[in-house]
């Protein structure tokens, strides 16, 4: 072979949805030029939506039953059409079952910080006292405030360490080539170099990673069974600490794991990346459905916030999956209320025209918080989390944040409990409940200063803790913490408004603050009315949400999930943002054509193969080219076949080339130095004879639209006049180019 070292063959692993089910591990390369020409985001495999569409059509055409018209044919056709529906039903059923287990477990573990049930230590306070008004079966650890404070802090710290330690077991190296020895490189450095990076698959909400996968990239092991189990157990202990995080984001990841594990059992989905991602979109709707008891909101959330490709069949199956998940969760009744609505309210008081001004104010404040939070959390991640002690010891950071959280939250009764309990208490309507502590404080005619101080301090403590907590290496979501902060602020504003329940403003404030952080709009408005049962308050919700989004966009262009994608180095092509960057590039440079994306000529020489008039090439040449691709970490790149005039005759991906060469060596007995016809035998079946091509002088917007709308993974770039191949551009190269324009 002409290369300095033998190419390393792909090895079998258990990754998430790689079209070839394998990862390429290249031999270490000391060639500096090779490293400089390495593909950006080389840790991520790219799928080709267009090729998978054709692949599915061939699957239908090649069915042996298509030529028959007997009973077997009709049953097979019925089963083929119903597989997606059956999978959606099973995903909803299993997701609800796991969610019920997590909900009950969180309540039990969280209550252990306060005491235990003498009848059964595995019962929560609610379950222990279900049949008694004055509960005698629940016993606090101590009557001393100081000792209770200490026990609360110690147990919260223990739960946090457990959650973090469990999460560490999902550590995975995404690298597609030999790791760099430079351990001090930042995430951005790792993304742009062939060294790759380390991920903890169960950490965070999982939503940024899911968005990346659904946009056409692959993250191996993200949906493994191990990740599902760790995500569920880790969420239990993480939420039980009382930290400013929620289980709602992790529920979306859990549902996606369930969706993946169910769907890969169906051959037509397991072998087609396009259709597999359709079912992942379906599964995500169930996650939010069980998180909030919001089946409609779950479907809209999957459509608005997560999915890139959402055809009507996905919408219909999402509806089924989401409603099954909600119905099963209601029957399992983890909250003990027998109701699906999580924070049911019935204020019975209508709002006046003047109150719209207050709703706008809440929206403005929610937008300011959301924009400032996104910037502050980004800076926190870029500064504090880059300290070597913190970066190399994620559990230590988690323990530190848990300790700070427990110390700050215990003295304030408004924020001492877990996030969902805090939210439930802040929405209370004191016209109907007199025994609640909040209602007792608000009923006082004098001496409310202490209560107001708790509201103000609680708001600022939540804002601070949410900023430093999001991004810790533990299963966590941002939805409930943002809503808690908004509810505290809204309840505080409500004290100034006479003759109307402060809970109304807490409810609207929670929506405004979440909108400012996440930039959700329609889906959030629907989630809020499903979450509270207050259909009459949809206009206030929408006013506050839209106002919050506009204000937050003015402060920080990206929402929290988009910023998390950037921080973690995940590739993502957002068409509208990309077009805006291209237009700005044209304004600055005077032109913006496709040739701006082209790599160096040295790279082009390694990406093309000249086949001559008889379409023949030496196998040694193909092996040499394959070796170059592997050394550069181009796990999903390939070779362009050209004639003597430089005109494209076809394209073959690296994986298909490797498979074809192995097949030729085994079956045809062709020697390494033999020449073969690329349009015959194993190569002919693997070559794409009709790759997408684009002129080098075409507007750059054409490339953005082709990659974004068609979902292709590469473009062949040609000269405008001669159609001669001048380069190959991949999705990753386009994204890297756009990143440099930021």
Which residue would you say has higher pLDDT here, 632 or 145? 145
pLDDT band at 430 (very low <50, low <70, confident <90, very high): confident
- Range in 20-24, 597-601, 671-675, 693-697 the model is least confident about: 20-24
Question: With contact defined as beta carbons under 8 Å apart, do 544 and 534 qualify?
Answer: no
Model confidence pLDDT, tens digit, residues 1-42: 343 333 333 333 334 444 334 433 444 444 444 444 445 565
Tell which wins on pLDDT, 237 or 680: 237
The arithmetic mean of pLDDT across residues 102-106, rounded, is 94
| 53-67, 468-482, 587-601: the lowest-pLDDT one | 53-67
Instruction: Please check the confidence at residue 439 and state whether its pLDDT lies above 80.
Output: yes
pLDDT at residue 133, rounded to an integer: 66
**Partners of 642 in beta bridges:** 610, 648
Q: What per-residue string of b and e applies to 534-555 under the rule 16 or more CB within 10 Å gives b?
A: beebeebbbbbbbbbbebbbeb
Query: 200 pairs with which residues across the strands?
Result: 171
pLDDT of residue 433: 60
pLDDT class for 600, splitting at 50, 70, 90?
low
Enumerate long-range contacts of 700-703, CB under 8 Å, 24 or more apart: 700/582, 700/585, 700/586, 700/592, 700/593, 700/594, 700/596, 700/597, 701/579, 701/582, 701/592, 702/594, 703/594, 703/597, 703/729, 703/734
Q: Poorest-confidence range of 148-162, 416-430, 615-629? A: 615-629
pLDDT exceeds cutoff 90 at 290: yes
Q: How far apart are CA 592 and CA 596, in angstroms?
A: 7
In 596-730, which ranges are continuous DSSP H helix?
A: 601-607, 619-631, 654-663, 681-686, 700-705
Torsion angle, alpha carbons of 271, 277, 282, 286, to 10: 100
Q: Which CATH code is given to the segment(s) 355-392+411-570?
A: 1.10.3080.10
- Give per-residue pLDDT as tens, 631-654: 765 566 788 888 888 888 888 888
Would you state the pLDDT for residue 58? Answer: 64
60 pLDDT band, cuts 50/70/90, is: low
Assess whether pLDDT exceeds 80 at residue 77. no
- For residue 63, the model assigns a pLDDT of 59
The structure tokens listed for 739 are 């990143």
Average pLDDT, the chain: 83
Domain ranges of the chain: 79-147+162-332, 355-392+411-570, 576-740
- Share of residues in the chain with pLDDT > 90 (%): 43
Does the CA dihedral 650-654-658-659 come out positive or negative? negative
pTM, entire model: 0.88
The CATH number of the domain covering residues in 79-147+162-332:
1.10.3080.10
Question: How high is the pLDDT of residue 678?
Answer: 78
Domain 79-147+162-332 identical in fold to domain 576-740: no
pLDDT tens for residues 342-351? 888 888 777 8
CATH architecture label of 576-740: Roll (3.10)
Residue with tokens 């913190």: 390
Question: What pLDDT sits at residue 197?
Answer: 72
Which ranges in 386-501 belong to alpha helices (H)?
388-391, 394-409, 419-426, 437-443, 449-469, 479-494
């Amino acid at each position: 072979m002409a290369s300095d070292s033998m190419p390393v063959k792909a090895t079998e692993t258990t990754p998430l949805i790689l079209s070839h089910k394998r990862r390429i591990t290249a031999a270490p390369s000391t060639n500096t030029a090779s490293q400089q020409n390495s593909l950006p985001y080389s840790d991520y495999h790219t799928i080709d939506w267009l090729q998978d569409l054709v692949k599915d059509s061939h699957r239908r055409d090649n069915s042996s039953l298509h030529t028959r018209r007997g009973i077997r044919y009709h049953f097979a056709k019925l089963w083929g059409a119903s597989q997606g529906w059956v999978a959606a039903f099973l995903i909803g059923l299993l997701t609800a079952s796991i969610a019920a287990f997590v909900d009950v477990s969180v309540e039990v573990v969280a209550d252990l910080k306060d005491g235990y049930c003498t009848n059964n230590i595995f019962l929560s306070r609610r379950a222990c006292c279900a049949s008694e008004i004055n509960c005698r079966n629940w016993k606090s650890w101590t009557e001393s405030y100081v000792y209770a404070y200490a026990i609360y802090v110690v147990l919260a710290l223990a739960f946090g360490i457990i959650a973090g330690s469990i999460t560490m077991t999902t550590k995975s190296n995404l690298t597609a080539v030999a790791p760099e020895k430079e351990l001090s490189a930042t995430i951005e450095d790792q993304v742009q170099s062939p060294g790759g990076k380390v991920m903890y698959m169960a950490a965070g909400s999982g939503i940024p990673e899911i968005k990346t996968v659904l946009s056409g990239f692959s993250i191996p092991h993200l949906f493994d069974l191990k990740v599902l189990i760790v995500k569920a157990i880790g969420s239990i202990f993480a939420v039980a600490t009382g930290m400013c995080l929620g289980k709602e984001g992790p529920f979306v990841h859990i549902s996606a794991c369930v969706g993946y594990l169910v769907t890969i059992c169906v051959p037509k989905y397991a072998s087609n990346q396009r259709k597999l991602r359709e079912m992942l979109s379906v599964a995500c709707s169930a996650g939010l459905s069980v998180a909030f008891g919001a089946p409609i909101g779950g479907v809209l959330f999957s459509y608005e916030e997560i999915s890139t490709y959402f055809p009507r069949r996905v919408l219909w199956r999402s509806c089924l999956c989401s409603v099954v998940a909600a119905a099963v969760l209601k029957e399992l009744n983890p909250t003990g209320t027998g109701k699906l609505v999580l924070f049911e309210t019935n204020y019975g008081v209508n709002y006046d025209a003047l109150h719209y001004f207050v709703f706008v104010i809440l929206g403005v404040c929610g937008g300011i918080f959301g924009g400032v939070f996104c910037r502050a959390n980004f800076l926190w991640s870029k500064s504090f989390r880059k300290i070597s002690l913190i970066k190399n010891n994620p559990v230590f950071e988690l323990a530190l944040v848990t300790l700070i959280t427990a110390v700050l939250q215990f003295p304030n009764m408004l924020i001492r409990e877990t996030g969902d309990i805090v939210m439930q208490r802040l929405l209370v309507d004191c016209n109907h409940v007199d025994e609640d502590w909040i209602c007792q404080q608000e009923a006082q005619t004098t001496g409310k200063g202490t209560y107001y101080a708790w509201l103000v301090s609680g708001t600022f403590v939540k804002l601070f803790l949410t900023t430093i907590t999001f991004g810790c290496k533990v299963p966590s979501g941002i939805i409930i913490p943002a809503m808690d902060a908004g509810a505290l602020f809204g309840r505080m504003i409500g004290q100034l408004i006479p003759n109307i329940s402060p809970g109304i403003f807490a409810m609207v404030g929670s929506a405004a603050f979440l909108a400012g952080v996440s930039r959700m709009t329609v889906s959030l408005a629907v989630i809020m009315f499903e979450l509270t049962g207050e259909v009459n308050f949809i206009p206030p919700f929408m006013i506050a949400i839209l106002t919050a989004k506009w204000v937050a966009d003015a402060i920080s262009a990206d929402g929290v999930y988009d910023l998390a994608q950037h921080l973690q180095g995940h590739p993502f092509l957002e068409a509208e943002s990309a077009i805006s960057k291209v237009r700005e590039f044209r304004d600055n440079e005077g032109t913006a054509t496709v040739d701006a994306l082209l790599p160096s000529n040295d790279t082009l020489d390694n990406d093309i193969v000249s086949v001559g008039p008889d379409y023949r090439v030496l196998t040694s040449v193909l092996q040499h080219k394959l070796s170059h691709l592997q050394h550069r970490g181009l796990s999903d790149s390939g070779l362009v076949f050209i004639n003597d005039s430089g005109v494209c005759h076809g394209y073959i991906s690296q994986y298909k080339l490797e498979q074809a060469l192995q097949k030729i060596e085994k079956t045809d007995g062709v020697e390494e130095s033999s020449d073969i016809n690329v349009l015959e035998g194993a190569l002919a079946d693997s070559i794409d004879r009709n790759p997408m091509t684009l002129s080098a002088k075409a507007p750059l917007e054409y490339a953005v639209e082709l990659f974004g709308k068609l979902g292709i993974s590469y473009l062949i770039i040609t000269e405008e006049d001669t159609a001669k191949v001048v380069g190959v551009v991949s999705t990753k190269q386009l994204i890297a180019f756009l990143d440099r324009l930021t």
